Amino acid sequence: MAWRAAPTRREITLVLFSLTVFILFYNLDTSFRFLGVDPVTSQSALLNKFGFSNSIIGPDGRRPPGWRDPLESEIFGEWGWEQGQVAGDGAEREKAKGADKYGAMWMGKDKTGAGEDQAIFGEGKAGDAFVTWGDRVPQAKLVKHIPGKPVGQTLGKMSEVFGAGYTIIDNVITVNGTFFLVTDDPGSFPPLGSISSSAEDIEQPPRPEDWQIITTSEAKKVGTFGASIPGVSWIGTDDDYSNHTLFTFWRMYASLDPSVDSQGRTTLALPRRLIWPSITYFTEPWPDPPIEGFPRIRAKTGVDDQTAKAAFPFLMQWYAEDWADFTKMRIPYVLERVLVADRSAAVRASNALPAFSGPFEDLAPMSSYWWEPIRRIMANFVRAVDEHKGKPLPPVVTYMVAQNKGGVILRDQDHRTFEASLKKMGKQYGYEVNVIPSNAKWFERMSVLARTTVLVGTHGLHLADSYYMRRSPHTTLIEIFPDGEYVKDNALACHSIGTRYIAWSSNGKLPSDTLPTEELSENDGHTRTVSVDTTKIVQAIRDEITLAS
C-alpha cells in the first residue's frame, strides 16, 4: 500500500504522543526514578488507595517504606540491614569469648564461610597457569622452619642452633630438577642442608643441582616466564617411608593456624598435592622385554592409599615419574607454597628419635585441636559420631589383634584370656568392646577405630592409625612391648593430640621416667612373644575410663 499524501501535523502529533506514552510506561520504574519518585512506594500507595493489595516484599523481608505501619516497626524495630547480614547494629555478627558472664562466643561468616557458595576447585582461572614476570622474578619467602623461628629475624647458622628437616616456603621455583630460592636476603633462610638433602646421597646436604639460593640479579638464568602451580604443595624428599608421614605433614602445616577450635574449624587452605621426587610408583621397573600379566607392587610411602583418600580427599600424589616429567619440560614452574619434609636433614641436625619428631617438639604457637580437622573428616567418612542427641557416647574399647602377622604378639593363652576378660568387662559396665584383626578390611577397621576411646595392642604398624580415635576425656592407647625394649613413636603422636598413652610389658605398666632406652627393631622378621597379666591390663582400662569421668 503506497502513501497517497504526506502525514498531517495531527497524525505526526498522535504518533509522537503514543511513542512517548509507551516508552514512559514500559519503563515505569526508570521514569519515576528520573523524576525523583520512589516507584515502589508510589505503586504501593496508589494500589492501596484503590483497595488493591500488593505483595511486594523488600530483600530484607519488610514491606516497602511507603506501606509500613506502626505494627511492623514494633515487631521488627528500626534496625539497619545490609545484604547478606542479619539485621542489627553490627554487634550481633561476632562476639569474642569472655565478653560476657556466659563466656559464649561466635564468629562472623567471613571467618567460617557459612552461607557462602563453596568453591570446589579453588581460586584462579585456566588462563592464570602461565605467568610472564620479566625482570620481576617471584621471590621466595620463608614462612616457617623448625622450631618455628619467627620470620624477619636473621637465622644465622641455623643448623648449629635449630632443628632441621621441616620448612614452609612461598614461591619456590623448580626448573630442570633444581629448586631455586630467589632472594636478596639469603641470611633470612636457613642453610640448604637444614631444608633438604642430596638426591644422590641422602646423608649429605643438597648439591647445587638439587637446591640453590640465588639473588634476583642471578635469577635471570631461570628465565622471564614460567608456569604456576597454585596452592599448597607438600614435598617428601626421602627415598624411604614413615608411617607417620601424613600426620607429621599436617602437624607442621597446622602450626600456621593456632586458632583451630574443638570443632575442627581452621583458616588453612587445603593442601593440593603430595610430591615424592625420589619414590617411584612401583617397586620394580617394567621388565624388558615386557611380560604380559607381570605383577607389579606399589612402592611404600608410609601413606595408606585408602586412608589418604578418606582423610585427605583433596590431596593428589605425584611420584618420581611425575616429577621427571617436570624436569624434562625445561621451563620454570613456580610453586606457590611448599612444605618440605626431609627426615635425613633432621637426622643430620639432631640424633633425636624418631626422625619425624621435629614438628612435635617446641613448635609454637600450636592449637591443642590441630588434628581435629583431619580426624573429623575421617570420622564423617566412616560414619562415626562423637555424641548422640547431645550426650557423650559410652566408652568403646578395641583390642587390635596381630597374632598372625609376626613381630610382637601375645602368648596364645594370654591372648584368649584377654579377649574373654574384655568381653566380660564390657557386659559388666556397659562398654562397647571390639576385637578386630589388624588385617581386617580397611573400612571395617577404620570405622571401629574412629569410634574407639581405648585401644590396646602389641607394638606394630597396626597401631599407627591410633590418632583417628574418638576424642574424649579418657581416650587412651595401651601399647605392649617386649621386656627391655621400647619405641616412642606412638607416645609422641598421642601426647601431641591429647590422647593418654600407656606403655606395657610383662611386668605391667612402664612408668614414663623409667622407659627402656633400647629401640625395638621394626623389620627384623622375627616373632617376639610377650606374656602379660591380662587382669592388670583390664583393670588399667577400667581405671582410665573411671578416673577421667
pLDDT(35) > 70: no
Same domain, 402 and 355: no
pLDDT(116) > 50: no
pLDDT 10s digits, 46-59: 555 544 455 566 66
| 336 against 526, higher pLDDT | 336
Least confident interval from 103-112, 413-422, 515-524: 103-112
Least confident interval from 92-96, 150-154, 274-278: 150-154
| CA–CA distance, 430 with 84 (Å, rounded to integer) | 48
Same domain, 354 and 411: no
- How many CB atoms lie under 10 A from the CB of residue 521? 12
Same domain, 341 and 451: no
pLDDT(541) > 80: yes
Count Cβ neighbours within 10 Å for each residue of 17-31 and write b for 16 or more, e otherwise: eeeeeeeeeeeeeee
| Percent of the chain predicted with pLDDT > 90 | 47
Confidence of residue 151 (pLDDT cuts 50, 70, 90): very low
Tell me, what amino acid is at 242? S
Average pLDDT of the chain is 82
Least confident interval from 62-76, 264-278, 509-523: 509-523
Give the per-residue SS3 of 35-58. Answer: CCCCHHHHHHHHHHHCCCCCCCCC
Q: Is 304 left (phi over 0), alpha (psi -120 to 50) or beta?
A: beta
**Residue 405 sits in a domain of what CATH number?**
3.40.50
In the prediction, which pLDDT does 28 show?
63
What average pLDDT does this structure show over 204-217?
A: 94
In the prediction, which pLDDT does 113 show?
44
Same domain, 136 and 181: yes
Same domain, 401 and 260: no
What average pLDDT does this structure show over 249-265?
A: 94
Residue 204 lies in a domain: yes
| Highest mean pLDDT, choosing among 71-85, 127-141, 495-509 | 495-509
In the prediction, which pLDDT does 161 show?
43
| 340 against 164, higher pLDDT | 340
| 266 against 118, higher pLDDT | 266
Same domain, 456 and 340: no
Residues with Cβ < 8 Å from 505, sequence gap 6 or more? 480, 481, 482, 483, 484, 530, 532
Least confident interval from 108-122, 231-245, 405-419: 108-122
| 110 against 227, higher pLDDT | 227
* Domain stops at, among 360, 393, 427: 360
Confidence of residue 127 (pLDDT cuts 50, 70, 90): confident
In the prediction, which pLDDT does 111 show?
47
Longest CA–CA separation in the chain, Å: 122
Residue 231 lies in a domain: yes
In the prediction, which pLDDT does 170 show?
96
pLDDT(262) > 60: yes
Same domain, 345 and 391: no
Same domain, 404 and 299: no
Tell me, what amino acid is at 218? E
Residue 104 near residue 97 (C-beta atoms within 8 A): yes
Confidence of residue 285 (pLDDT cuts 50, 70, 90): confident
Locus of grid cell 612435635: 360
* Domain stops at, among 360, 391, 416: 360
| Percent of the chain predicted with pLDDT > 70 | 77
Same domain, 279 and 164: yes
Same domain, 174 and 321: yes
Least confident interval from 84-98, 204-218, 418-432, 527-541: 84-98
The pTM assigned to this predicted structure is 0.74
pLDDT 10s digits, 386-422: 776 667 789 999 999 998 877 899 999 999 999 999 9
| CA–CA distance, 534 with 540 (Å, rounded to integer) | 10
| CA–CA distance, 238 with 490 (Å, rounded to integer) | 21
- DSSP per-residue string spanning 177-211: TEEEEE-S-GGGS--HHHH---SS-TTSPPPTTTE
Confidence of residue 456 (pLDDT cuts 50, 70, 90): very high
Using a 10 angstrom Cβ sphere, with 0-12 exposed, 13-18 middle and 19 or more buried, the burial of residue 465 is buried
Same domain, 489 and 442: yes
Residues with Cβ < 8 Å from 423, sequence gap 6 or more? 433, 435
In the prediction, which pLDDT does 436 show?
96
Residue 131 lies in a domain: yes
| CA–CA distance, 80 with 91 (Å, rounded to integer) | 12
Considering only CA atoms, which of 455, 490, 478 is closest in space to residue 530? 478
Residue 105 lies in a domain: no
> Cα 470–471–472 angle (5° rounding)?
115
| Cα distances (angstroms) measured from residue 323 to each of 28, 194, 280 | 64, 22, 10
Residue 475 lies in a domain: yes
pLDDT(536) > 90: yes
| Cα distances (angstroms) measured from residue 514 to each of 496, 509, 541 | 21, 11, 21
Confidence of residue 97 (pLDDT cuts 50, 70, 90): very low
Residues with Cβ < 8 Å from 75, sequence gap 6 or more? none
| 338 against 64, higher pLDDT | 338
* Domain stops at, among 330, 360, 390: 360
Residue 197 lies in a domain: yes
Confidence of residue 239 (pLDDT cuts 50, 70, 90): confident
pLDDT(231) > 70: yes
Domain interval for residue 518: 382-548
Residue 477 lies in a domain: yes
Give strand ranges (E) for 288-429. Answer: 316-318, 333-341, 387-388, 391-392, 396-401, 408-410
What average pLDDT does this structure show over 147-171?
A: 60
| 392 against 383, higher pLDDT | 383
In the prediction, which pLDDT does 108 show?
57
Same domain, 182 and 214: yes
| 154 against 224, higher pLDDT | 224
Residue 5 lies in a domain: no
Least confident interval from 172-176, 231-235, 240-244: 240-244
Task: Report how many domains make up the chain.
Answer: 2
| 375 against 344, higher pLDDT | 375
Residue 501 near residue 525 (C-beta atoms within 8 A): no
